Amino acid sequence: MKFPSFQNNRVCFFMLVVLIFSACKTEQSTEPNKLDQIISSVRETYAPDKRVALFDIQSEGNSSGYILKGKTNLPEALDTFKKELDSQNIKYTDSIEVLPSEKLEGKIYGVINNSVANLRSKPAHSAELVTQGTLGMPLNVYQKERSWYHIQTPDNYLGWVDAGGIELMTKKEFDEWKATDKVIYTDTYGKSYTEADASSDAVSDVVAGNIFSLVTEDSDFYEVKYPDGRKAYLLKDEADSFDEWKSKLAFTKESLVETSKTMLGVPYLWGGTSTKGVDCSGFTKTVYLMNGMIIPRDASQQIHEGTLIDNSKDFDKLIAGDLLFFGRKATDSTSERVIHVGMWIGDNQFIHSAGNVHISTMDKNAENFDAYNYNRYLRTKRILNETGEGLLYLTKENVF
């Protein structure tokens, strides 16, 4: 009988160690992948759109399992996440912060305090302008970083606003502010005054949709109060009692067209949602807001609301107020991309913000025919008087 040599024994032993080590290594390396898959699955279920929901979770491995870090404003999602980890016998230390932050010391509500406040993607003035908030808009406040606050608007959009644009409030202060009688500014653009006199100094500029607390009124002026307590006067010809304004909302196609034309010539501004400047979806959003409806912020969100009217350029089906969406159609290898939105005003015409707010037509023989958007047309949706998760009616919801 021939026995293996000592050298062969060494080789076999080495190979066995390598196989064992490789097996252990493979088993350990699959667990982070499993953990990442669980994070992705929960995020896809509860926060598929990071513009309106936050589930930012990371993990770090250590000798006893994993340290989970990050932030979320979705307690239910976090609970589901941890239950799934437990069911998979994944050991972890929970260091995830559930927002709003305790460092805010109860001031987890806010109200926009300037005529228009810029909301950015990150806590810096150099960051992308993602949307705007107008004076009187209520906010949920989640966290503070330097002089910036992470907030969420009534349409659930997330952004960062600098401290100068927001008045922080406790629940009690916020409830007291909401309970006051309100005044809404209805002109496209104007000023508030230090006295009941249009020749007096301005307190600030004001834009359509700005909302103030009512102090008192006379035949020509409303005396109003800003969220931070400043007092001012608004011309009655340019404003209205918020309750009276709501009672007069008609929710008609005619009122939408009338409002849209007051904004003709307003310049295009990426991220803009006010009469100082609007992007395409900021324009449609502002028009609908001034007619008592809060609709989603972006064109790619707006397109999911309402009822499909057309997707084959049969424009005879459209009525004023319908939203037309433009972009790139889906192919076998690429998904649909919604890039632009405008509002139908009848007579083969639509109004939209591109360069500035202007009217274009789908009539190929007209001087203002918009061949570019005609060629990238996707479909038309009707949202006026429709219902949906992303549609809020100010006559039904106590937003302000």
Alpha carbons within 13 angstroms on the beta-carbon side of residue 88 total 20
Q: How far apart are CA 55 and CA 338, in angstroms?
A: 24
CB 217 within 8 A of CB 236: yes
**Which residues fall within 8 angstroms of residue 200, CB to CB, at 6 or more apart?**
193, 194, 233
Q: How far apart are CA 127 and CA 145, in angstroms?
A: 14
**Which residues fall within 8 angstroms of residue 228, CB to CB, at 6 or more apart?**
113, 167
The model scores a pTM over 0.85: yes
Stated as kind and residue range, the H or E segment containing 381 is strand 377-382
pLDDT given at position 74? 97
Q: How far apart are CA 42 and CA 36, in angstroms?
A: 10
Percent of the chain with pLDDT over 90: 90
Instruction: Answer yes or no: is pLDDT of 112 > 60.
Output: yes
pLDDT given at position 23? 44
**Which residues fall within 8 angstroms of residue 299, CB to CB, at 6 or more apart?**
280, 281, 284, 325, 327, 338, 339, 340, 341
pLDDT band at residue 64 using 50, 70 and 90 as cut-offs: confident
How many helices (H) and strands (E) the chain has is answered by: 8, 27
Q: How far apart are CA 169 and CA 229, in angstroms?
A: 12
Stated as kind and residue range, the H or E segment containing 119 is strand 116-120
- Average pLDDT taken over every residue of the chain: 93
Q: How far apart are CA 330 and CA 217, in angstroms?
A: 56
Q: How far apart are CA 393 and CA 330, in angstroms?
A: 32
283-337: per-residue pLDDT in tens?
999 999 999 999 999 999 999 999 999 999 999 999 999 999 999 999 999 999 9
CA separation, residue 343 to residues 66, 265, 267 (Å): 51, 15, 17
**Which residues fall within 8 angstroms of residue 72, CB to CB, at 6 or more apart?**
47, 54, 55, 56, 57, 78, 96, 97, 98, 99
End-to-end CA distance of the chain: 94
Mind spelling out the 3-state secondary structure of 198-247? CCCCEEEEEECCCEEEEEEECCCEEEEECCCCCEEEEEHHHEEEHHHHHH
pLDDT given at position 62? 82
CB 325 within 8 A of CB 341: yes
189-230: per-residue pLDDT in tens?
999 999 999 999 999 999 999 999 999 999 999 999 999 999
pLDDT given at position 10? 52
Compute the average pLDDT of residues 1-28: 46
**Which residues fall within 8 angstroms of residue 301, CB to CB, at 6 or more apart?**
49, 51, 281, 390
Residues 316-342 as b or e (16 or more Cβ within 10 Å = b)? eebebbbbbbbbeeeeeeeeeebebbb
Instruction: Answer yes or no: is pLDDT of 26 > 50.
Output: no
Q: How far apart are CA 15 and CA 221, in angstroms?
A: 90
CB 178 within 8 A of CB 160: no
Read off the DSSP letter of residue 336.
Answer: -
pLDDT given at position 17? 45
163-185: per-residue pLDDT in tens?
999 999 999 999 999 999 999 99
Structure tokens at 133: 């908030």
Q: Read off the amino acid at residue 324.
A: L
Compute the average pLDDT of residues 82-108: 96
CA 208-296-326 angle, 5° bins: 100
